[in-house]
Structure 1
Amino acid sequence: MTAYLLPIGLLFISNIFMTFAWYGHLGDISRPVWFAILMAWGIAFFEYCLAVPANRMGSSVYSTAQLKTMQEVITLIVFAGFATFWLGEKLTVNHLIGFLFIAAGAFFIFKGPISA
């Protein structure tokens, strides 16, 4: 069970770090860009320290396509929360519809081959 759940947990945490690395500086754009780049690079180091083990562990029970799909869905979940709570942006119906289409794609990645 750990082989299935631990990679998901690590990917969630790594995505929180990466979302802050990529978009956290938008909360205060008064700092110079070079400073934002250095801060993002430092934060991304911790993201990699979680994502690489997550993918290595996950590859024993998930296909590469499943790992990538999982990462993208997790990224959207984390980003939606980040954009709402950190940046104060509103999620719209269009965002939700787009996320549902991506979730539908994820369903087919995990479902396996469809027989005719």
Structure 2
Amino acid sequence: MNLGSYIAPIVMLALSNVFMTFAWYGHLKFDHKPLWLLVTASWGIAFFEYWLAVPANRIGIQVYSPAELKTMQEVITLLVFAGFSVLYLGEKLTVNHLVGFAFIGLGAFFIFKGPLGG
């Protein structure tokens, strides 16, 4: 397999997560808008997320297991959301967030490490 088969899914999953994070949480700054409008706009944003996520998984399955792809997606989601919540929503990351993210990162390590003792 070429290097692109390893990198393309990561880049595409990162971009898809940017779209999905805006679809799920971007509307929080528009609480004065009708819910039907926010849901419709979110659905429209999510449409583009699928155009990245589905091909990312189709390409990624050539070199990664489904568990590895899902783990990548979750770790990327946390990273994108952390940046989004600080930069867009004005939230602060706390030590508790960082500890929680570290534990999730530890879980990701074990997914990619493979079977213990095997």
TM range (shorter): over 0.9
- Superposed CA RMSD in Å reads 0.7
Partner of 1:61, secondary structure, is coil
Matched AA of 1:55: N
Partner of 1:46, secondary structure, is helix
Q: Report the Cα distance in structure 1 between the residues aligned to 2:113 and 2:64, rounded to whole angstroms.
A: 12
Shift of the alpha carbon at 1:113?
1.0
Shift of the alpha carbon at 1:19?
0.2
Specify the alignment match of 1:66 in structure 2: 68
Give structure 2 stretches of 5+ with no counterpart: none
Structure 2 counterparts to residues 35-114 of structure 1, below 5 A:
35-114=37-116
Partner of 2:101, secondary structure, is helix
Question: Is structure 2 residue 19 aligned with structure 1 residue 17?
Answer: yes
Q: Structure 2 length normalisation: TM-score?
A: 0.97
Runs of 4+ in 1 over 6 A off after TM superposition: none
Q: Structure 1 length normalisation: TM-score?
A: 0.98
Shift of the alpha carbon at 1:105?
0.1
Aligned-residue identity in percent: 66
Q: Report the Cα distance in structure 2 between the residues aligned to 1:30 and 1:87, rounded to whole angstroms.
A: 16
Q: Report the Cα distance in structure 2 between the residues aligned to 1:10 and 1:17, rounded to whole angstroms.
A: 11
Q: Report the Cα distance in structure 2 between the residues aligned to 1:27 and 1:111, rounded to whole angstroms.
A: 40
Of residues 26, 30, 51, the one that matches 2:32 is: 30
Matched AA of 1:43: I
Q: Report the Cα distance in structure 2 between the residues aligned to 1:6 and 1:78, rounded to whole angstroms.
A: 17
Shift of the alpha carbon at 1:34?
0.4
Give structure 1 stretches of 5+ with no counterpart: none
More moved, 4-13 vs 26-35: 26-35
